[in-house]
Amino acid sequence: MFRLLGLATALLIPIGAYASPPDDGVTTYERAIEDARTPSGYVESIEVSDAFLGGSDGAERLRSVPGVSVRRQSSLGQPAYAQIRGGNPRQLAVSVDGFRISTPFGAGFDLGALSFAGVDTIQVYRGAAGAVQGGGALTGALNLQSTTLRKPGWRTSAGTFAGSLLTAGLAIDADVANESSAVRVAANARQAEGSFEFVDAQGVAHTRQNNDHKRAGVMVVGEHRFSAGNRARATITWDGGERGAPGPSEFQERLSAARLEDQRVIATTRLEQRDPIRLGGLGVDTFEQFGGQWRGAQYTNPSSLLGDAWFRSASEFTRFGGGLGAKAFAGPLAIALEGHTSIAAYDSAESGIVEATIAQQRFEQDIATSVEWSTPTWSVMAGGRLEWMDGDRSELALLPSVGASLTPLRWLTLRTNLARTYRAPDFDELYLNVETVRGNPDLASERAWVFDGGLEVGSSRVRVGSAYFESRMDSVILFLPVSSSVIEASNIEGATARGIETWFALEPTRWLLVDGRYTWTSATRDEGGQTVAHQPAHEGGLGAALKLGPSVRLRADIHGRSEANLDNFGNLKAPGWISVDAGLHAQPLRWMTVGLTAQNLTDDRTRIDALQQPLPGRTVFASIQLDWEETQGQP
């Protein structure tokens, strides 16, 4: 009851307290206040709204971003983790509409377990994201974004898909809006039997067992525009499901009945005001954001890896927080100031050979400021963030940052930045125990200096870019094997990740688009020089999109990576692999779209990814979506 009341309070009270200033038609700044940039501007937005009906998810779409690597554990619906610029999956922060959500299950933020209901785009911050996203964004950040209908009217869509591994899903999305308000409800559900054939390193064929999943999600978004530039926005999300937990392929018998159930509720309110205070030529934008989240998870295994005893681990995480901020503009000068505070609680219980309970609380506060001087051809930005923590651990971190961009020619842009970033271990990293993955309460925090610099040249039909990045990380946290079946959170003395990411997009005609990306990464331990686990040296892809008339689109991609270590000493390796994917979408009627997508067309059944877990062979999915819309007026 306390958690539900807290979520409702976080969602509703700020709206009731909002008072809109009078609108005199004056606009002082063209960018929305949520444009939270890193100093270097290495930010990319990718579309994910159509991924669900294609038998895919947001994790797969992240492969298109240079500098981003994705680790999967088996097929659709099973865990998938993103890592940025040589970091690990825990070194990036994840937000929903700008509100930070926690990292579940220690190994990283599990994008494969999200339904992505209502999520339209993912903003990917590469590099010094901690300068604007706060602690946790050691090497980057992800912001999952939703939208509402901007014109008066209504819009509805419904779709379904089915395909390999006995997978089926259904999605519904509805919007309604008038001149000042809009409401959106999006929901989806998906299930799969999940079993597939794979071939181990000795060439022996096996069947992947206990690989099923069921997942559902609902997102409700409401927005009210009080006047030009002044709005209130509220979001509430529920996401939950269950799946088999097959674990490493050589332990399938012991894990044949292991199950994981989890669910999450997120509620957030954001208020934005343009020019609540006006002093001559000085313009001010402000924002207030409040929210809360609850996450529950339960892992069970009737036959424990450590014996024949039944094993159960359950945990709950609750967090409430809020923030205030302002940006002031005077000619070429922009000054920003913001602060956040939150309280989090973590409770867990384990049953089996050993009985254990844990209850911890954490308080976090931060204050950040930045100054930017910009002209049409160049921009210089400097900032600092102070973060402090109390509760289960006490810490203080100062994060300075500086960045610059230069556009000496219309077709040429150069960017660079340097920043200090920081990440404290999450509750799950400290206290988690799901039998094959364990936390460590003695972990030290991670800190790093990150640098990048690069250039991009382009026109309306050609875009080519390249950037060098380097992260010098202190006391890195890695989940490393401590036995043949168990990995545990551990500190290593330090690591350095450096590399070069390149990308291009060519549109020689209106009906053809060719794009590609390649990233070379060297991530090594400072002591001993061993390559850091799970980081391939080479990763990239090449794709082409072809319009076959006004209503038919064909897309083909080839992507892959080199081999990667599975432990910290190079004793276990995941071989490199290449996958060929394709998709065909047609619109036979104005209100109907049909699709056919295929992954791993070569049917390579020897591929493995994180923790020696096999990836499926060829998978094919067919979908149909129906759309109805009636809008009027101007956006």
Tens of pLDDT along 13-43? 333 333 333 332 222 222 223 333 344 468 8
Candidate from 127-131, 272-276, 470-474 with smallest mean pLDDT? 127-131
Above 70 in pLDDT, residue 467?
Answer: yes
Q: How many CB atoms lie within 10 A of CB 502?
A: 17
Going through 392-534 in order, the beta strands assigned E by DSSP cover: 395-409, 412-423, 437-438, 446-458, 462-481, 487-509, 512-525
* The pLDDT value given to residue 348: 87
Query: What's the full length of the chain, in residues?
Result: 635
C-alpha span between 380 and 378 (Å, rounded): 7
C-alpha span between 179 and 116 (Å, rounded): 28
For residue 525 the two structure tokens come to: 């331990």
Greatest distance between any 2 Cα atoms in the chain: 76
Q: Are 536 and 69 in contact (CB under 8 A)?
A: yes
For residue 578 the two structure tokens come to: 């290449």
The share of the chain scoring above pLDDT 90, in percent, equals 51
- Residue scoring higher pLDDT (587 or 247): 587
C-alpha span between 99 and 635 (Å, rounded): 26
Above 90 in pLDDT, residue 177?
Answer: yes
Tens of pLDDT along 386-440? 999 999 889 999 999 998 889 999 999 999 989 999 889 888 788 877 776 788 8
- Over residues 183-204, the mean pLDDT reads 94
Burial class (CB in 10 A: 0-12, 13-18, 19+), 247: buried
C-alpha span between 112 and 239 (Å, rounded): 12
* The pLDDT value given to residue 306: 62
Q: How many CB atoms lie within 10 A of CB 510?
A: 8
Above 90 in pLDDT, residue 237?
Answer: yes
Q: Are 417 and 128 in contact (CB under 8 A)?
A: yes
* The pLDDT value given to residue 319: 92
Helix (H) or strand (E) holding 5: helix 2-16
Radius of gyration of the chain (CA): 24
The segment with the largest mean pLDDT, out of 15-24, 120-129, 223-232, 581-590, is: 581-590
Whole-structure pTM over 0.85, yes or no?
Answer: yes
For residue 36 the two structure tokens come to: 């939270």
Above 80 in pLDDT, residue 182?
Answer: yes
C-alpha span between 256 and 212 (Å, rounded): 11
Candidate from 351-360, 460-469, 605-614 with smallest mean pLDDT? 351-360
CA atoms within 13 A on the CB side of 176: 1
